[in-house]
Amino acid sequence: MLMILLAVLGGVLTTLSMVVSSTLGKKIGLIQSTIIHYIGGLIGGGFILIGLGSKIAPSIAEMSNMPFYIFLGGVIGVMVVYTSNVVIPKIPVVYSTLLMFSGQMLCAIIIDAIVMKDFSILKLIGAIIVVLGILYNSRVDAKENKIENQSLKEVENIN
């Protein structure tokens, strides 16, 4: 149960992080916001390491036995923050989050199929249903906005 709560908390924090960072990005610039985001993360991570009494980094010998790609998390994270900073001001947060979730599901399905040799058609169908739901809901919203905009124009013409 604790892991489920932590996963939900991680999702909440991810969305909050995206919104805060994109808001800063609108004020100071996308790249600058991404850099500040990661400087804050470095400082926060440092406090956590100190608080937990963890060592800062593995030894060179330990790292030499690890595959290169596992060190790309920071680079990928920067790309996530940057793309969030670009997308969130242009697409409502709920759609941004659902679309990013759809991308995460697709990536997870591919990783499970390739690395774990575990492909689930039900997971793929679920991801497709989520994407179709997003598309349907965005069309409904677009129609509602069009009707609202037409009504506003009619009111403005009366005045």
* pLDDT tens digits, one per residue of 85-110: 999 998 888 888 888 888 888 898 99
Tell me how many domains the chain contains. 2
Contacts of 123 (CB under 8 A, 6+ apart): 105, 108, 109, 112
Indicate if 3 and 59 belong to the same structural domain.
Answer: yes
Cα 134 from Cα 132, distance rounded (Å): 5
Indicate if 7 and 57 belong to the same structural domain.
Answer: yes
Indicate if 79 and 96 belong to the same structural domain.
Answer: no
* pLDDT tens digits, one per residue of 103-158: 888 898 999 999 888 888 888 898 889 889 888 888 888 888 766 555 445 545 55
Indicate if 84 and 27 belong to the same structural domain.
Answer: yes
Last residue of a domain, one of 68, 90, 112: 90
* Spatial contact of 135 and 91, defined as CB atoms under 8 Å apart: no
Indicate if 78 and 100 belong to the same structural domain.
Answer: no
Residues in the chain: 159
pTM (predicted TM-score): 0.72
Indicate if 150 and 73 belong to the same structural domain.
Answer: no
List the domain range (segments joined by +) for residue 122: 92-158
Indicate if 97 and 86 belong to the same structural domain.
Answer: no
Contacts of 88 (CB under 8 A, 6+ apart): 18, 19, 22, 96
Indicate if 28 and 75 belong to the same structural domain.
Answer: yes
Indicate if 79 and 98 belong to the same structural domain.
Answer: no
Indicate if 18 and 85 belong to the same structural domain.
Answer: yes
* Spatial contact of 102 and 130, defined as CB atoms under 8 Å apart: yes
